[in-house]
Structure 1
């Protein structure tokens, strides 16, 4: 006959097993929730869309949805993370070692647009809403900067520290400039998007080179101006 203790242990083991199963199921639920939201956004819009509507479309309970995502903003965060992972996997498979940093960034950015292709209607609606709501756009940009750091990493470009933050914001600006072209793209192979991205990266490259020359020139002038004073001091 089983003892009371063994029954308690069995119950505890069963509870842990259920918790473990739920934890493993959470990513799958999160993906279903993201897919549901992306299907609903073009028609309903993001601001008007409710969590119960998303849960119903995803075919999950609100309780399971809560275990998988923290709220509406977290749904977009999960979506970005999923796209990031796709781009990172594509970068690992591609042979970009011999390419310049600009070419690597070009390939990574185009890979991101390709990954976003199935969600173009939802992204168009989000962009439209954010254009009317600067605060929402700012909140979205904060999450997007994190994604841009991952894109820099995928291109083999250091994304840490203040410089990394500046580069991430610069890349976000580039993508924001190219986004309207991508949204209106109709031809296979996205030739207009390719051209627009190439032009924006070239523009950014010219700006960066100009800043480097200005900084180096200022440093040289500073050293030249300081030289007489240093000589007088016996330096």
Structure 2
């Protein structure tokens, strides 16, 4: 019951255009509704980041990816990588808010391997814009205390406990970001915390190649 209550409170805050602090499977994030332009402006202000750094979207299940992205890979590939610590970059569809990353035709999409985040995205019936819970260019955060300086600007902070291992630098890397917008190819935008396993799946299971790979003609 408590879980349902927290989800309901979070959905209400998001639907009012607020930005909230959330746990994910990799690091803490701040989230707002991707389709709410006012909330998008707010998330950039909170981060203190320039408007040219893209925000990823988070959806609740693989089917939702098709609404907001032009998918260039076989459906089983999506299910092999997601939910998980991976952000897949595709061309965006016309359904996605034009004010979200207006400077690029691409968008990164995530389904964190985290029941709370999946449920939250499903209950909102639209994607969440998601970015790390820290001031731009500062280290990523594994506990809510580590981004205490942002609390006053957030409508709600959901404490999911410590994420990962504080002693391991890998646990602060965030998701592996991979560009799949060119059919048959992939390129790594950010190595992140799941590079080896992601590349293994892309290369061995789906025979995707790097665009500058000698076998690419």
Q: TM-score, normalised by structure 2?
A: 0.27
Q: Which has the larger radius of gyration?
A: 1
Q: TM-score, normalised by structure 1?
A: 0.26
More helix by share: 1
Could you say which structure has the greater relative contact order, defined with CA pairs below 8 angstroms and 6 or more residues apart? 2
